[in-house]
Amino acid sequence: MSRPYQELRPSQFVVTFGPGSVVETDSGPVVLKSMDTLFTEITRSPQDFEIIDDRLSRLGLDDARIARIPTNAELGLPADRAIYPTTAFPYWALCARHQPHQVLYEVNNGCPECPPAPTWKSKEKAGREAIRFVLACDGGHLDEVNWHRLVHPKGRCSTRHYLWNGGGRALRLVTLECPRCHTTANFGEAYGRPWPCTGRQPELGGRPASGQANCTRAARILQRGSANLRIGELATALTILDMPARLHNVLGDRELLGALRTLRRRGFLNHETFLEEVAEARIAPDAVQYLSQIPWRDVDRALDQLLGVQRADTVSLRDEELDRLRNAATHGAPPVPHPQLGSPPLFEVRKADIRHVPGPQGRLGLRVAPVSRLRMVMVQTGYRRLDPENGLSVTTSFDWNRTKWYPGIELFGEGVFIDLEDGDLPLTGERVAPWQSRYLASPLNSTLHPAHVWWHTLSHRLLWALSVDSGYSSAAIRERIYLKEENGVVTGSGLLLYTVQPGGDGTMGGLVGLANQFDHVLARALEDVDTCSNDPLCEEAPDVGMDGAACYSCLFASETSCEHRNHGLDRLLLSGNLP
C-alpha cells in the first residue's frame, strides 16, 4: 500500500518547498497549505518553535518573528504520521488504461471507462494518475487548467471527461476530444497561448467563483514539476557575536533569552530584573552563579548583540554584517578564546589562524579569516512564479495572535571570510566601464557594480577550487558577497564562503583546514581564468549586462551555491584585475 505522505526535512521546507509548492507523494501531488494551518492542526503556538534572531527580524523582516517547522519526534508522533496540512492538486487525472485513447477526468467523478470501485480506491487511483499540467501566472497564482474551456471555448456541453488522443515527442501531437459532441482541440496550441488567470492561491484554500477572478495577468500552462513554477525567496543572517564565549553560551538559552527580550521591549530590563529572570530560568546552578558575577555593563552589551540594538533605518543587514566580519578578521571573535570543553560558540574566528595571502600578480593582498564556527538563520520570505526577476512576490508570512511570522531554519557550520588587506579595490580595463554604466542606470541593483562583479566572479572560481580538497562538493559551499557604499564610494567589500547544515554539531572543518594553504587554493582558482572551452562565444558577449563573459563551462555555479542566480559575473573583468 502506498504511503499518503512525503518525508521532508525542515531545511527542505524552507529552502526548496514551503507554502504554495507542489509536492509529489506516492498517493499523488499535493499543495502545502499556509503555515498557520500547521499550528492549528497540532494545537501548538509558533512561539513554542521560535528562532530568536532580533537582528534579522528588525532589519530584514520588519519586526516579524521566525518559527521553525517541528519534527514528528518533537511532537511525539510516529515518523510515518503526516503532520503538515495539504490539499490534493491538481484535481484532474489521466487514465492510461484504455486504447486507442486515454481518458482525462475529474477526480471526484472517477474514470468513466474503468469498472466501478469504492470511492477511496477511485481517489487513490486518480491521485497516482494526476495530470502533470497546471495553470500559473507571474502574479503568484496557481490553478487547474480549465479543460472545459480549452475544448469548448464558446461554451461547454454536459460532458465531465475528455478523450486524450496522441502523444509522443511533441505536445502538438496531442488532441483533446469531447466524447459527446466530438469537438476537438490541439493541446500544443493551447500550451503556447496565454490564458485568463483565476487569481487562485491553493495554499489559502478555496478557488474563486467563475468570472470573479481579480488578476489581470496572463496565465500559462506548464508542467507541475517545472523549476520556475515556484521560486523561493530567502533572507539570511549570520549570528556574529563579540563577547566571552561562556557568556554568550549561557545567555543563548532559548527560554532565558526570550524572557529577557520581552523585558527589554517593555522597558523593564535592568540588573535587578535580569538577576530575577536568571534565578527563575532552567539553567545549570553554576551558570546562574557565573551570570551573577558578571558586571551589568558587560551583560547589557552582550544582550545588545544577542537581541539587537536600535540603529538607524539606513543601516542595512549586510553592511552591519560586513563590519562585524571585518572586526572579527582583525581582532578575532570572541576576544576570549573558547575553551575546548563545553558548548561551542555561535561565531568563532581565532586570531592566530588568520592568514595574509599575496595575490599571484602582487597587486592585492588578501586577508583570509577562517570561521571555525558560525550560525546562520535562513528565512523563506516569499516566492515568485514563472519570472524570478519581474514576477510578483507572494509572501509566505502568516498571522498568529496579531503577530506576523515567517518560516525559518537554524543552521550551523564553518566558513572562510576573505577581504583585502588595505580595503581598496582598484579596477581598470575595458570591462569596467560597461558594468559601471549598467550600475549607474540601476543603482539599487548592487550586483551590477564592478566591484561586486569582481568579488562575485572570484567567489565562483574559489567555490570550484575549494571543493577539490575540502571534502565538500561545490554545490554544498555557499557564497555571501559584501559591498558597502557611502556617498557613491566603496568603503568595504569581501566575501564569505561557507557551508552549513541543521543541527548543533555543525560541520567537520574541511573549509577551515584549507586556510593554511590558501595560496595554493587561490592559484588554482585563478588558473586559466581568461579562457573557456566555449570561447569565442563565451568571451564575445555582444553586451555586458546582467551576464558578462560567463557560462556553465567556466563560472556558473549550482543554485544552492550562488545567491544571485549566476547573474553579475565576468571572468574577463577578473582576469584583467588579478590580485
Residues 191, 257 within the same domain: no
Q: Tell me whether residue 226 is in a domain.
A: yes
Write out the chain's pLDDT in tens, 579 residues: 345 567 888 889 998 899 999 998 888 899 999 999 999 999 999 988 988 787 788 788 988 999 999 998 889 998 888 899 998 899 899 998 888 889 998 888 888 888 876 766 666 776 788 899 999 999 999 999 999 999 998 877 888 899 999 877 788 889 999 988 999 999 999 998 999 998 999 998 765 544 445 788 999 999 999 989 999 999 999 888 766 667 766 887 767 887 888 888 888 888 999 888 888 887 888 888 888 888 898 888 888 877 765 444 556 888 888 998 999 999 888 766 655 444 566 788 988 999 999 988 888 889 999 998 888 999 999 999 999 888 999 999 999 999 999 999 989 899 999 999 887 888 998 899 989 998 998 888 889 999 999 999 999 999 999 988 888 888 889 999 999 988 878 999 999 999 998 865 556 778 888 989 999 999 999 999 999 998 888 887 655 545 788 999 999 998 889 988 898 999 999 999 998
Residues 46, 117 within the same domain: yes
Residue 512: closest CA among 402, 380, 349? 349
**Residue ranges making up the domain that contains 278:** 240-307
> Residue 96, class by beta-carbon neighbours within 10 Å (0-12 exposed, 13-18 middle, 19+ buried)?
exposed
Residues 280, 257 within the same domain: yes
Residues 23, 149 within the same domain: yes
Q: Tell me whether residue 291 is in a domain.
A: yes
> Cβ contacts of residue 480 below 8 Å, gap of 6+?
236, 238, 495, 496, 497, 498, 563
Q: How many domains does the chain have?
A: 2
Residues 196, 264 within the same domain: no
Q: Which pLDDT value is given to residue 382?
A: 95
Angle at 519 between CA 513 and CA 521, to 5 degrees: 65
Q: Which pLDDT value is given to residue 363?
A: 85
Look at residues 283, 307, 331 and tell me which one is the last residue of a structural domain: 307
Residues 250, 212 within the same domain: no
Residues 194, 46 within the same domain: yes
Q: Tell me whether residue 290 is in a domain.
A: yes
Cα–Cα distance between 64 and 165 in angstroms, integer?
51
Look at residues 232, 260, 295 and tell me which one is the last residue of a structural domain: 232
Q: Which pLDDT value is given to residue 360?
A: 86
Q: Tell me whether residue 171 is in a domain.
A: yes
Q: Tell me whether residue 72 is in a domain.
A: yes
The answer to whether the beta carbons of residues 52 and 257 sit under 8 Å apart is yes
Residue 453: closest CA among 490, 414, 488? 490
Residues 198, 277 within the same domain: no
Residues 167, 295 within the same domain: no
Q: Which pLDDT value is given to residue 571?
A: 93
Residues 60, 187 within the same domain: yes
Residues 159, 51 within the same domain: yes
Residues 178, 268 within the same domain: no
Q: Tell me whether residue 348 is in a domain.
A: no
Q: Tell me whether residue 358 is in a domain.
A: no
Q: Tell me whether residue 367 is in a domain.
A: no
CA dist 355 → 132, 329, 418, 516, 519 (Å): 53, 9, 10, 7, 10
Look at residues 270, 290, 307 and tell me which one is the last residue of a structural domain: 307
